[in-house]
Amino acid sequence: MIDGLLMGLGAAISPFNLMMVFIGCFLGTFIGMLPGLGPMSIIAIMIPIAIQLGDPASALILLSGVYYGAIFGGSTSSILINAPGVAGTVASSFDGYPLARAGQAGKALTIAALCSFAGGTVGALLLMIFAPVLSTVAKLFWSAEYFALMVLGLTAIAAFAGKGKIIKAMCMTVFGVMLATVGESALHNAARFTMGIMDLQSGIYFVTLVMGLFALPEAIFLILDKSRSKAMANNNKIENLRISKEEAKEIAPVIARQSLLGFFVGVLPGAGATMASFLGYGIERNLAPAGEREKFGKGSIRGLAAPETANNAACTGSFVPMLTLGIPGSGTTAILLGALVALSITPGPRLMEDQPEVFWAVIISMYLGNLVLLILNLPLIPYIAKLLTVPRHYLIPFVIFFSLIGAYIGQNNATELLIMIGLGCMATILRFGGFPLPPLIIGFILGGMLEDNLGRAMRKAGGMEFMWERPMTLAILALALVLLVYPIWRDRTKKQSD
């Protein structure tokens, strides 16, 4: 392992490759801030440039820098304007945006940068140690276990249900899964619930939904309630970047837990950063002391640290099946896999033996990518956070414009914009009724995977028997039930004792 590390270090630390990391991180961060352009599309755009470099190590180092930069850029737009461009950063907006609104945008971005660094670095360490073993465990997971894992992810709704809101949260989750069934599914070719609208044939586009649910209603509320934007401008003390000792102590165990959890969730093909960030958020909320739990969703630093750490660790974890089995664990690693193939490298069990310099260069480039991102972004945070000092009469049009254009460039279809405006109005009404929106987006994101895995498991078992016949499925489903019932039971006993 030491020889491999030195080999990777030798390949990664040349001046040219260091420059590639800087360029990758810088481009990734700034392009990633545009809603609608997530790591997947940015890496796809950068592949021709990476291939032109010729050297596989340099190409991978550039793409890793872009990858980590894009994830951090996505978190930035989530935190500052509540516009998460990719599913993996949706959970970061739950507490990151309230922190920004409370005048702590700088601090929120610093926490995001530090947690991303910690999650990514611990993930890279774990990748180095566990890659061969974990690839064997991941092979044990079948569609039945994946279905159970999706159900476990959906139980995270308990984390978003405030006092007496559990049924509203469940309604929203079911509604989100219903929206995910619009259009064709992976198992069936016939489109469902399209109402004859051709643009819905391939389903509702994720960015359209997420912009409609989060960014647009936020802009609508800023117009409706003038005091909000005034409070935001007045509170916006960007120089407040520092994290106090108490805050550091508070988030340290969260980072430790979520680095591990995120990595192991990321290893499972298909689960990825989104699942890790939602699970991480839900688990930390349940573990938090009663007083701190109330702050979740209102600007808790634990609530921001958990998804930020978990999604970065999961991104690293998703490299395990790609490098060791040749199976992409997420959309982004699928694109990276394509880049590797274009560079005449075949990922799989023999990669570590046949081309060790490439395997170790990828791991070292992850360390470097995380480190450079931290060095590059910490000084830039005050300038990035200055976005919020833009006057109200320009900030609101910009939020609306970036939401609209984010949905448009993904599909190149103006109908998406009208769907998004409709969704935005619907989400505003739901917020007036006190319905939590995060469960809706979780339901939508996990809904497609839930149906695919349920379908595969039922076809294989000939019915629902797989739920109790497979011990691992049963164990995960039982855990999901506990996660759902425990908060209800805790609230009820607390109410009785009060």
Partner 1 sequence: MARIDRYIALALLAFSIGYGYLAWVHPLLPFEARMPFKPNTMPLGLAVLGILFSSLLLLLPNNDEPPKDAEGWRGFAWKDTALLIGLAIGYAILLRPIGFIASTTLFIILSSRVLGETNLFRSTITGLITSGLIWYLVDEVLGIYLVATPGFLGGSL
Interface positions with partner 1 (CB under 8 A): 31, 34, 37, 45, 162-165, 167-168, 170-171, 174-175, 177-178, 181, 185, 187-188, 190, 192-193, 219-221, 223-227, 392-394, 396-398, 400-401, 404-405, 408-409, 412, 414, 417-418, 421, 424-425, 429-435, 450-451, 454-455, 458-459, 461-463
**Nearer of residues 409 and 474 to partner 1, judged by Cβ:** 409
**Nearer of residues 25 and 314 to partner 1, judged by Cβ:** 25
The closest alpha carbon to 214, from 433, 420, 448, belongs to 420
**Nearer of residues 308 and 452 to partner 1, judged by Cβ:** 452
d(CA 285, CA 303): 7
Across-strand partners of 192? 183
Give the ranges where 268-355 is alpha helix by DSSP (H). Answer: 272-287, 290-295, 301-317, 319-325, 331-342, 351-354
CA–chain centroid gap for 119, Å, is 13
Please report how close the Cβ of residue 443 comes to partner 1 at its closest, in angstroms: 9
DSSP H/E element including 79: helix 56-81
**Nearer of residues 125 and 396 to partner 1, judged by Cβ:** 396
Give the residue carrying structure tokens 């274009």: 342
Question: What does the CA dihedral 284, 285, 287, 292 come to, rounded to 10 degrees?
Answer: 120
Please report how close the Cβ of residue 100 comes to partner 1 at its closest, in angstroms: 17
Please report how close the Cβ of residue 400 comes to partner 1 at its closest, in angstroms: 6
Give the residue carrying structure tokens 């930035």: 76
**Nearer of residues 269 and 439 to partner 1, judged by Cβ:** 439
**Nearer of residues 382 and 455 to partner 1, judged by Cβ:** 455
- C-alpha distances (whole Å) from 469 to each of 122, 143, 429, 459, 461 are 36, 14, 44, 14, 9
Please report how close the Cβ of residue 171 comes to partner 1 at its closest, in angstroms: 4
Please report how close the Cβ of residue 409 comes to partner 1 at its closest, in angstroms: 5
Please report how close the Cβ of residue 128 comes to partner 1 at its closest, in angstroms: 34
Give the residue carrying structure tokens 């078992």: 461
Number of other CB atoms surrounding residue 132 within 10 Å: 12
**Nearer of residues 169 and 364 to partner 1, judged by Cβ:** 169
Number of other CB atoms surrounding residue 386 within 10 Å: 14
Please report how close the Cβ of residue 401 comes to partner 1 at its closest, in angstroms: 6
